[in-house]
Amino acid sequence: MYTVLIVDDEIGFQCLLELVLQRAGYHTLVAGDGAEALEMIRNHHPHLIITDDDMPKMQGSELCRRLKGDPTLRHIPAIIHSASLKMHRPSYRESSRADAFLSKPSLPREILERVRGLISQAQTVRGEPARVH
């Protein structure tokens, strides 16, 4: 079973993402900000992270930069899921180092397609056998 870490300071979005992912068979972990998420990533090594950007303590874009800057964690795909318009700027996308971007709100189908695709891609890159999910 794949584990997805949901990082969002809004409980409503946490619950929505948990519901969508759990119904699709994923195990979920939840963090309320980027600092808490970074600790959870180091302790639990999720297969993928979905993070909001605008949060207290550490924004999602900073979380992604730290994740991708750490040789032991950079293989974990990260999606920024945000309502912020800055997500559409090429300079922001490049500097955040996230693997994908989804606008809030997103359809469950869009979320699951992106999650499945990134997990599959990460397995291929790491040479792991693909598991159908």
Domains within the chain, CATH numbers bracketed: 3-126 (3.40.50.2300)
**Under 8 Å between Cβ of 49 and 78:** yes
Nearest alpha-carbon partner for 79 in 58, 94, 100: 100
Whole-model pTM: value is: 0.91
Report pLDDT digits (tens) over 24-82: 999 999 999 999 999 999 999 999 999 999 998 999 999 999 999 999 999 999 999 99
The rounded mean pLDDT for the chain is 91
pLDDT at residue number 133:
47
Contact 66, 41 (CB under 8 A): no
Q: Is residue 13 a contact partner of residue 104, using CB atoms and an 8 Å limit?
A: yes
Pick 105 or 48 by higher pLDDT.
48
